[in-house]
């Protein structure tokens, strides 16, 4: 059995989720991998791998790739004001509008949560709401 510890530090280049320009993202990760010998190859868990005794070797490239990929956050955007100005202006042009028809600034879009987005009622649902209210009144 082998127990391996990996400490990965570096930089990856990923596309910005907002403007699609390259973004330099620092990576720092500590991972552990346990390799056991057995009859056939299997991954018992995220950290434990069994390899055949007669083979005796393991390619770590895929494991290193996974460690790095898991260290990259889901949301990757430039700091406010650093995005491509052309793309930011197009994003602002097509951004969601609230009830007063004011555009959200492109930098505000990244900080918004689902609760911050104003709910615009679709008039097609009004008829269904009336049915629910009628049903509740009959009970």
Tell which residue, 103, 104, 116, 113, has the closest CA to residue 75. 113
Query: Percent of the chain beyond pLDDT 70?
Result: 81
Contact, 107 vs 80, CB < 8 A? Answer: yes
For 50, how many CA atoms within 13 A lie in the half-sphere containing its CB?
Answer: 8
Q: What is the pLDDT of residues 100-132, one digit of tens each?
A: 444 444 444 544 444 444 556 677 777 777 777
Return the DSSP state at 103: B
Tell me if residue 9 falls in helix, strand or coil.
Answer: strand
How many C-beta neighbours within 10 Å does residue 108 have?
13
Contact, 33 vs 6, CB < 8 A? Answer: yes
Would you state the structure tokens that stand for residue 59, as one six-digit string?
Answer: 């390619």
Tell which residue, 130, 106, 4, has the closest CA to residue 58. 4
Q: What is the pLDDT of residues 5-34, one digit of tens each?
A: 999 999 999 999 888 899 999 999 999 999
């Amino acid at each position: 059995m082998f127990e391996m510890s990996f400490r990965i530090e570096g930089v990856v280049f990923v596309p910005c989720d907002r403007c699609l320009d390259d973004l330099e993202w620092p990576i720092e990760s500590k991972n552990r991998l346990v390799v056991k010998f057995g009859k056939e190859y299997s991954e018992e868990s995220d950290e434990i791998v069994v390899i055949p005794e007669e083979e005796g070797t393991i390619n770590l490239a895929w494991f290193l790739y996974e460690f790095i990929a898991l260290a990259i956050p889901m949301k990757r955007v430039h700091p406010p004001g650093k995005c491509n100005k052309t793309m930011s202006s197009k994003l602002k042009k097509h951004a969601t509008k609230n009830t007063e028809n004011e555009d959200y600034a492109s930098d505000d879009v990244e900080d918004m949560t689902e609760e911050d987005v104003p709910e615009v009622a679709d008039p097609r649902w009004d008829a269904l709401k009336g049915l629910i209210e009628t049903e509740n009144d009959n009970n």
